[in-house]
A and B are shown apart, each in its own frame.
Chain A
Amino acid sequence: MVTSAALYHLMWMINITIDIRNVCVFLAPFFSSLTTIVTYLLTKELKDSAAGLVAAAMIAIVPGYISRSVAGSYDNEGIAIFCMLLTYYMWIKAVKTGKIFWSALAALAYFYMVSSWGGYVFLINLIPMHVFTLMVTGRFGARVYVAYCTLYCLGTILAMQISFVGFQPVQSSEHMLALGVFGLCQLHCFVDYLRGHLSASDFQVLFKATIVATGTILAVITGILTITGKVSPWTGRFYSLLDPSYAKNHIPIIASVSEHQPTSWSSFYFDLQLLVFLFPAGLYFCFRQLTDANIFLILYGVTSIYFAGVMVRLMLVLAPVMCILGGIAMSGMLNRYMKDVDASPVILGMPAGNLAQGKQGDKRSKHKQESNFVMKSEIATLFVAIMCFFLISYTMHCTWVTSEAYSSPSIVLSARSHDNSRIIFDDFREAYYWLRMNTPEDARVMSWWDYGYQITAMANRTILVDNNTWNNTHISRVGQAMASSEDKAYAIMRELDVNYVLVIFGGLTGYSSDDINKFLWMVRIGGSTDRGAHIKEWDYYTPQGEFRVDKEGSPTLLNCLMYKMCYYRFGQVYTEGGRPPGYDRVRGAEIGNKDFELDVLEEAYTSEHWLVRIYKVKDLPNRGL
């Protein structure tokens, strides 16, 4: 947000009167182009410029990242990925050179990252993990010490300036690894220093004693702090990262978000395609030539692939490292075979930077290989051709995925009619604009939290819960209202001071992600707090354990507020030829409760295709009526 505002003011300063909306729309593509450049630099640091070029080309079109960087996807994640890669680049530079300059820059980049995305936690755990691994593998030295200490101190102080973060970096358990590694760094250096001054046997004794003492003290301190509540307990989001089934069992609100579902294999392939197969190859290349930087890359790759497996959303973190590793693998393999394509000593297709090294390696390998292989040139040609084919198919796949899955705005739906012309369902904007124009400015709208941001932005009205509502009980209260019968819901709505209620209903058009299909989550979330203890998920199923909206459905479901709001007057509508009126096209059933009137609500607006239905909460009846 700050970034777009800064860009906007800069543009206006030089009299480029661009609309703030356009700044926002083009922010994501702009930052993704920067990401491409940073990917090149990072890969160049990790491997060489050839791999950098391939990686940059790959990240430019990888669907996993494009999903966040298409024009108009004004999201923090688009910037955050750039910041993350920038921090990594600075960090690698700092580790390599051991200069305070680079690690201070890394801290600045980290600060930018913290201010843009909550996912910075991943970063502040990954870098200490890298340092820790370096320690374990005996690669720890003054360079890493300087780099890490500068980054940690500066980065933490800067991060604490963000009000959202506050004192979390020293309190919450998510940041403990960084703090711990910081402490370990000091210990390690101190031990190294002592080792230089003591004899081996004395040192052994001292070393053991120090470890035991520090361990005990740490454990006690952590225990005390946790008990006194100074160190916050592990948050649910973090648990669900470590244990994928945790959320499903304990926190319905986290589990209800489709982005928080575990990733399926198909979506890995869908978002990464070729890179899925290049990933192990890239790891192999890294392991073959282990350096400080490569260890970082390996750690990054392995952890992020785990996290991406836990949550679909974190595919975004995985995509860059996949590209980097893919780039390394691809350029490594092509380098290997490209020089055999042409038997003549002139090497084509090799980047200039590698020419000198390539030549030397070439001569050596030629001696060996000439005796071993026949048809060396043919095999190499075949291999390069296959690789080209893969790369081309990757490009095609990315283009296809981008155009099919990520290019259409989610707020405007389109469908094909039987004569193959396009029908546009612009119902969301229709209804939101109606809210904006025709309700009092201080009207409060109740809807499920998925639509919170949309209503705030497009309808400019106050909502009860939105996508960033942290107050679980509040969301739960809305869920209770939706799941209760009309009069109970009315009491809740009066309590929450609601003027309008908005529901999404897809039964007429066949839009499947509507509120009835999300309804079970509302029931679960509604029932997850004390005040909603009377709401039990089983009441909404048939005795056979099915979720049905037709006559067989449970009476609790057929009389709850959500059901009534969605199906009000729907019982008379003919939706499909040859079906009875009130046939729900999503559930494929004729609705069970048809002729009812609403007592406490009145229909205020219904969009053209019935996708959005808005109800007005009636005032209390006058006394004596």
Chain B
Amino acid sequence: MSHTRLLFLSFVIVVAGSARADLVNKNVETVVDISSQLAKISNKVTVENVGKTTLKSLIFGVPAHLKERTSFVTAKVGEHLLRVTETKLSGQDGGFWKVDLRSDLAAGRTLQLNIDLVLSRALVPHPGQITQKEKQLVLFEGNVYFFSPYLTEKQSLTVNLGTNSVESYARIQPVSQSDNKLNYGPYEKVQPFQEERLNIHYENNSPFLTITRLERLIEVSHWGNIAVEETVDIEHQGATLKGSFSRYEYQRESQSGISSVKSFRTALPASAVDVYYRDDIGNISTSHMRVLSDSVELELRPRFPLFGGWKTHYTLGYNVPSYEYLFNQGDVFVLKMRLMDHVFDDMYIEHLITKIILPEGCHSIELSAPYAVERLKDTLHHTYLDTKGRPVISVSKRQLVENHIDDFELRYKFAKVLMIQEPLLVITAFFALFVLVIIYVRLDFSISEEEEHSRVDREHKDK
């Protein structure tokens, strides 16, 4: 059995072409943080090249049931980020990533890596419906072992629950519970691709808010302003509310509706001004803004508390000065801004659409995104004093978490002369209007001379 497996494995690795069976995970320390709505897994991996050749890359992965839920992956050596690309291993239906090492790993050498994963939707409310006074229990199904194509010699796992009320957890010995942590392992000689479900059923009342759709609109003006507007659809995707909502209990008992969300904090850039927070039916009067040294913090309170299954929708907008984000040399401009921004801590965005509206007359537009995004069709936007319309660059991405907050770069060309086009347009329009009025007042367009007669008549009478 193990023979065939090894054979098969080597075949797989040959196919993958980048990793060898002669890598071994000497030691893996995994920390799983499931105290929020996301599952954050950080692995401290020590790999050793037991083969004879020098290695340039290695591979790690997640089991099949977590593949779709993995939102974010990073690998670091010390503080240096490594390039991670998604890859496939034939015969395996899990998700795999290839890490390009910064320096080659010579035979017999070891290297310590930090591999972090963020899983979204990995915590399933169980039961799926609760009444207002019940607490929210969720079920986490992870993997006990570090999922790797290589042999793991020693692994230990710590689960951070954020609570000490646990209904049940997978008892894969050795395991112990201390306070709000579960300690698994150490396990020796974990085979490649070994799976063991890590089932934990525990209480989690942290906000289970999902941003089902975030549309971020960045409108650039060369007159010194960048307007940002975010339209947000939020849904509480925790256990849905069963039965009635009682305002009386909600107001009187602090434990009532503990999994519901009253408000959340959004951090905006420090230079944000003219902040507005509204929805389809007007300004939402329940929000507070605090200007901190490095950001503007908004405490947003939806119109109503969000219970499980409840949705809301709002628009948040602000202005930032363009000198912080827009750089130019001659006619070449570079816009460097965040592709998405913070909405609340431990957020999860299902679908992001970012639109960038550039001034009229921009051309040769090149976009470089920090990660793979889907570029939508460019459109034109017509607004005040436009003649042929402003170019709009749109990108879309699914499944994002806080770690995705990163800058994009947009390079374009714009002749500065065009800036006076709009003032000129206004001047010309008014000039034409005045000329018309002058002509109309000075000249007599009447066909008959009736008016003249009556005027003459009147003058006669006056005399």
Tell yes or no: A437 within 8 A of B by CB.
Answer: yes
13 contacts across the A-B interface (CB closer than 8 A): A16-B383, A17-B383, A426-B286, A433-B279, A433-B281, A433-B312, A436-B280, A438-B309, A569-B248, A604-B244, A605-B304, A606-B246, A607-B247
Tell yes or no: A218 within 8 A of B by CB.
Answer: no
- Contact (A430, B384) CB under 8 Å given A436-B280, A437-B310, A438-B310: no
Determine the distance from Cα of A608 to Cα of B286 in the docked complex, in whole angstroms.
12
Q: Is the CB of A426 within 8 A of B245?
A: no
B305-336 CB mask vs A (1 if < 8 Å, else 0) is 00001111100000000000000000000000
Tell yes or no: B76 within 8 A of A by CB.
Answer: no
What's the nearest-Cβ distance from chain A to residue B221, in Å? 14
List, in ascending order, chain A residues with CB within 8 A of B384's CB.
Answer: 15-17
- Contact (A603, B280) CB under 8 Å given A430-B303, A437-B311, A438-B311: no
Determine the distance from Cα of A424 to Cα of B384 in the docked complex, in whole angstroms.
36
A308-347 CB mask vs B (1 if < 8 Å, else 0) is 0000000000000000000000000000000000000000
Tell yes or no: A412 within 8 A of B by CB.
Answer: yes
Determine the distance from Cα of A430 to Cα of B281 in the docked complex, in whole angstroms.
10
By DSSP majority rule, is chain A's interface helix, strand, loop, or mixed?
mixed
Within 8 A of B (CB), among A544-572: 569-570, 572
List, in ascending order, chain B residues with CB within 8 A of A431's CB.
Answer: 304
Determine the distance from Cα of A412 to Cα of B280 in the docked complex, in whole angstroms.
15
What's the nearest-Cβ distance from chain B to residue A612, in Å? 10
List, in ascending order, chain A residues with CB within 8 A of B423's CB.
Answer: none
List, in ascending order, chain B residues with CB within 8 A of A573's CB.
Answer: 248
What's the nearest-Cβ distance from chain A to residue B24, in Å? 54
Q: Is the CB of A603 within 8 A of B385?
A: no
Determine the distance from Cα of A526 to Cα of B270 in the docked complex, in whole angstroms.
59
Tell yes or no: A88 within 8 A of B by CB.
Answer: no
Tell yes or no: B222 within 8 A of A by CB.
Answer: no
Determine the distance from Cα of A573 to Cα of B252 in the docked complex, in whole angstroms.
9
What's the nearest-Cβ distance from chain A to residue B458, in Å? 12
Determine the distance from Cα of A436 to Cα of B312 in the docked complex, in whole angstroms.
9
What's the nearest-Cβ distance from chain B to residue A603, in Å? 4
Determine the distance from Cα of A570 to Cα of B286 in the docked complex, in whole angstroms.
25
Tell yes or no: A376 within 8 A of B by CB.
Answer: no
- Contact (A606, B279) CB under 8 Å given A17-B383, A412-B285: no
Determine the distance from Cα of A432 to Cα of B281 in the docked complex, in whole angstroms.
9
Tell yes or no: B282 within 8 A of A by CB.
Answer: yes
**A431: nearest residue on chain B (CB-CB)?**
B304
Q: Is the CB of B247 within 8 A of A606?
A: yes
What's the nearest-Cβ distance from chain A to residue B429, in Å? 9
Determine the distance from Cα of A458 to Cα of B286 in the docked complex, in whole angstroms.
18
A residues near B (Cβ < 8 Å) are: 15-17, 412, 424, 426, 429-434, 436-438, 457-458, 569-570, 572-573, 602-608, 610, 616
List, in ascending order, chain A residues with CB within 8 A of B363's CB.
Answer: none
List, in ascending order, chain A residues with CB within 8 A of B309's CB.
Answer: 438
Q: Is the CB of A606 within 8 A of B245?
A: yes
Tell yes or no: B375 within 8 A of A by CB.
Answer: no
List, in ascending order, chain A residues with CB within 8 A of B303's CB.
Answer: 426, 429-430, 433-434
B233-256 CB mask vs A (1 if < 8 Å, else 0) is 000000000011111100010000
Tell yes or no: B382 within 8 A of A by CB.
Answer: yes
Determine the distance from Cα of A290 to Cα of B248 in the docked complex, in whole angstroms.
69
Tell yes or no: B406 within 8 A of A by CB.
Answer: no
What's the nearest-Cβ distance from chain A to residue B265, in Å? 20
List, in ascending order, chain A residues with CB within 8 A of B279's CB.
Answer: 433
Q: Which of B245, B282, B304, B309 has the most A CB atoms < 10 Å from its CB?
A: B304
Within 8 A of A (CB), among B351-399: 382-387
Q: Is the CB of B281 within 8 A of A603?
A: no
Q: Is the CB of A15 within 8 A of B281?
A: no
What's the nearest-Cβ distance from chain A to residue B383, in Å? 4
Determine the distance from Cα of A426 to Cα of B285 in the docked complex, in whole angstroms.
7
What's the nearest-Cβ distance from chain A to residue B268, in Å? 23
List, in ascending order, chain A residues with CB within 8 A of B286's CB.
Answer: 426
- Contact (A429, B246) CB under 8 Å given A16-B384, A437-B312: no
What's the nearest-Cβ distance from chain B to residue A96, in Å? 14
- Contact (A610, B383) CB under 8 Å given A429-B303, A438-B310: no
List, in ascending order, chain A residues with CB within 8 A of B304's CB.
Answer: 430-431, 433-434, 605, 607
List, in ascending order, chain B residues with CB within 8 A of A412's CB.
Answer: 285
List, in ascending order, chain A residues with CB within 8 A of B282's CB.
Answer: 429
Q: Is the CB of B280 within 8 A of A15?
A: no
- Contact (A572, B285) CB under 8 Å given A16-B384, A433-B303: no
Q: Is the CB of B244 within 8 A of A15?
A: no
Determine the distance from Cα of A458 to Cα of B284 in the docked complex, in whole angstroms.
13
Determine the distance from Cα of A457 to Cα of B243 in the docked complex, in whole angstroms.
27
What's the nearest-Cβ distance from chain B to residue A443, in Å? 14
Q: Is the CB of B244 within 8 A of A602?
A: yes
List, in ascending order, chain A residues with CB within 8 A of B386's CB.
Answer: 15
What's the nearest-Cβ distance from chain A to residue B278, in Å? 11
Determine the distance from Cα of A426 to Cα of B287 in the docked complex, in whole angstroms.
12
Q: Is the CB of A602 within 8 A of B243?
A: yes
Determine the distance from Cα of A438 to Cα of B240 in the docked complex, in whole angstroms.
12
List, in ascending order, chain B residues with CB within 8 A of A607's CB.
Answer: 247, 304
Determine the distance from Cα of A468 to Cα of B87 in the docked complex, in whole angstroms.
63
Determine the distance from Cα of A378 to Cα of B246 in the docked complex, in whole angstroms.
74
Determine the distance from Cα of A17 to Cα of B245 in the docked complex, in whole angstroms.
42
List, in ascending order, chain A residues with CB within 8 A of B252's CB.
Answer: 572
Determine the distance from Cα of A424 to Cα of B287 in the docked complex, in whole angstroms.
12
Q: Is the CB of B246 within 8 A of A17?
A: no
What's the nearest-Cβ distance from chain B to residue A100, in Å? 15
List, in ascending order, chain B residues with CB within 8 A of A426's CB.
Answer: 284-286, 303
What's the nearest-Cβ distance from chain B to residue A508, in Å? 10
Determine the distance from Cα of A420 to Cα of B246 in the docked complex, in whole angstroms.
30
Q: Which of A15, A438, A569, A616 has the most B CB atoms < 10 Å from its CB?
A: A438
**A425: nearest residue on chain B (CB-CB)?**
B285
What's the nearest-Cβ distance from chain A to residue B8, in Å? 52
Determine the distance from Cα of A458 to Cα of B281 in the docked complex, in whole angstroms.
6
List, in ascending order, chain B residues with CB within 8 A of A605's CB.
Answer: 245, 247, 304
Determine the distance from Cα of A516 to Cα of B319 in the docked complex, in whole angstroms.
46
Q: Which residue of B246, B285, B313 contacts A603 across the interface (Cβ within 8 Å)?
A: B246
Instruction: List 20 extra interface pairs beyond A431-B304, A433-B304, CB under 8 A.
Output: A15-B385, A15-B387, A16-B384, A426-B286, A429-B281, A429-B303, A433-B280, A433-B303, A434-B303, A436-B280, A437-B312, A458-B281, A573-B248, A602-B243, A604-B244, A604-B245, A605-B245, A605-B247, A606-B248, A616-B244
Q: Which of B303, B310, B312 has the most A CB atoms < 10 Å from its CB?
A: B303
10 tightest A-B CB contacts, nearest first: A606-B247, A602-B244, A17-B383, A603-B244, A430-B303, A569-B248, A437-B311, A458-B281, A433-B303, A434-B304
List, in ascending order, chain A residues with CB within 8 A of B311's CB.
Answer: 437-438
**A430: nearest residue on chain B (CB-CB)?**
B303
**A434: nearest residue on chain B (CB-CB)?**
B304
What's the nearest-Cβ distance from chain B to residue A205, in Å? 44
What's the nearest-Cβ distance from chain B to residue A454, in Å? 10
List, in ascending order, chain A residues with CB within 8 A of B280's CB.
Answer: 433, 436
Q: Is the CB of B312 within 8 A of A610?
A: no
**A573: nearest residue on chain B (CB-CB)?**
B248
**B307: nearest residue on chain A (CB-CB)?**
A438
